[in-house]
A and B are shown apart, each in its own frame.
Chain A
Amino acid sequence: MTGLEAIAAHNGWAIAAVGVSIVFSGLTMLSIVISQLYKVLDFWERRDEFFQRMKGRGAVEDVPRITVSPDMKETVRQYRMLADRLGKPFSLPRLLDLARKCGLVNPHSTINRLLKQEIIVPDGEGYYHWHQSISS
């Protein structure tokens, strides 16, 4: 027996339809569960914060202050002035370029120090800004 007749005789249509449906429902179910999993875990990790907020005791998060060493103060001032000309957020390579053009000493390692001390902070999208506690 061959052809459509064979498929019908062996209940092929039903097996295929049910099979596809089960595969789909299995993976859909798994997909739904894992799409929520990280939310549940996230909530679990922040449960204390959540309960505090529920009790109305949510504290305002302070921005940690950066202490600039005296020898860095002048450097920070110079670089801050240059960065202000580049807008907010600013491009780090352009700041480097500008510092070099202005004849500042060791611009590369200076910028590295500013980064390491978190005086200059990445915005996560490839640009940079000054730490919030460093005023203009």
Chain B
Amino acid sequence: MSTDTDDAPFAESEETPFTDIDLGWEHRKNRIFLGIIFAASMFGVVMLALLLLDVVTDFYRGQTEFGISLIDFFTRDGSRRQELAGFRGAIVASVMLMIFTAILAFFVGVGSAIYLEEYAPDNRVTRLIEANLANLAGVPSIVYGLLALAAFVNGIGLGPILLAGAIALALLVMPIIIVSTQEALRAVPDSMRNGSYATGATKWQTIRGVVLPAAMPGIMTGTILALARAIGETAPLIMVGALFTNRIAWGPFDRFSAMPTQIYNWAAEPEPHFIHLAATGIAVLLAFLFAMNGIAIYLRNKYERDL
């Protein structure tokens, strides 16, 4: 596109219709504010980058200076002897923990969310329950560990087994799953429910046939994000006693140590080799976290267009 100023009829004139309006200072304010909020948003990104850099450096030094073999790391369980120590037991235990946590938290969480969102009358009891759930989501995670320790490990005598850890984590993430499921259910437009009712569907047919399928991507996203939080939790597991770092758990009733507790354990050792084992473990844990977040983001993007 050419800008032929010679032909412009008003090009010679000093006066334009806008000379009486001075926006200089307004635009400067705009730019200053933009600078501040951009810096704020970059703060988080930079911190995450530094953290990752630190982890990667330690991981790299572990590989090179301390000769940590990744094959050994993934095929061996924990050990007192640094050259024999691996992460397999912790990974297996964490995966099992996630599965049992998901089973325990998902159905109870989604069920109560459906009740609260679709069935519960709008009265004081319902509002009280919802307020409590919001508070539960803010309770420090160690409290859930204490609860599980008191009620399950010692109370009914389960002992420090994997199932007890799963219960503690399920309690921890349940409020998050409930709240995120409620959000997902609320995001299903009422017009869709009305469409179903008007077609002669009952309430349950509507929930099962229309509302849940429509909300499922959101529910899955919320659940995965909640589990991603659970997989990194250390404090409740320590409370439950998940410190059997040197053996592998084969089932829910075995004693266990998960990834974060294994890392915690290694990091507490004085030898630098263990410190770098911990760094390698952190790298693996982060990889798990990113993978889970990635799945959640993928699900959200794939389905959000539909609602």
> Are A and B subunits of one complex?
no
